Amino acid sequence: MTFPEQSHTYSLGELKVNRLGYGAMQLAGPGVFGPPKDHQAAIAVLRHAVASGVNHIDTSDFYGPHITNQLIHEALFPYQDDLVIVTKIGAVRGNDASWNPAISREALTQAVHDNLRNLGLDVLDVVNFRCMISPHGLAEGSIEAPLTTLAELQQQGLVRHIGLSNVTPTQIAEGRRICNIVCVQNHYNLAHRDDDVLIDDLAQANIAYVPYFPLGGFSPLQSATLSEVAASLNATPMQVALAWLLQRSPNILLIPGTSSTAHLQENLAADQLVLPGEAIRELDNIAGE
């Protein structure tokens, strides 16, 4: 695979963001439920991210629930002009920390208003509809009804742009017939490569692709090849995994999450890491290991 020259920015509609952003999910408590163990540390991570040049933050009001949005507001409000906050709707948390679909017109409308209130905004920059047909991964099924509701909220001026999360190519095509889609957020990383063709198709359409679990998520990436390449470049395995994604396609935006400022700084340094061709060829083979 030959990667194009790396650009450091990409656009979500008319909103230009740095390609290496920050995902706020890990700021909530264990299992993305409840408050953080260290409230002030969570505030410090958010402020350090923005001070370091991050202008794309991914969040949701069902993280916590409400916790990450409230932390973002406390840490960063009033927001700097170029900060783009991307949230998502389509789920709610049960009292047992379960993740449950919430796709009725009423639930989606309430979710948009919850995000607005907790973030302290009048309009949301980007809202992703999170498909919950299957809680365990992708599953086919129409998203017309919930996405039509979200498009109506956009027409009311509450949402600037719309994206999709956890969706198949068929669902993306259906969504694009309903409204303009500026980004797709799916599971993808060095070892999980099911969306290879989709990423290239979205790049042709100028649609951003935002991989969740770019470092493996709850099961961090582990590979002898990754460790060897990292050692040869005097980098960490996670920096190499992020750099590979940045060089994979110019429409990929990254939102690695962490609750540590040291880990955040390590992640952000991946933006300056350029992988040589031999390293890329070795890393490309990890998915087949």
Nearest alpha-carbon partner for 156 in 124, 120, 183? 124
- Rounded distance between C-alpha atoms, residue 159 and residue 178, angstroms: 15
Query: Residue 205 burial by CB count (10 A; 0-12/13-18/19+): exposed, middle or buried?
Result: exposed
How far is the first Cα of the chain from the last one, in angstroms, to the nearest whole number? 17
Active site residue 63: yes
Amino acid letter, 154: Q
Query: Residue 139 burial by CB count (10 A; 0-12/13-18/19+): exposed, middle or buried?
Result: middle
Contact 125, 157 (CB under 8 A): no
Contact 91, 63 (CB under 8 A): no
Tokens coding 3 = 């990667």
Give CA separation, 161 vs 2, 104, 181, in Å: 32, 20, 7
The one catalytic residue in 63, 79, 209, 212 is: 63
- Find out whether the peptide bond into 65 is cis, omega within 30 degrees of 0: yes
Give catalytic residues, as residue numbers.
63
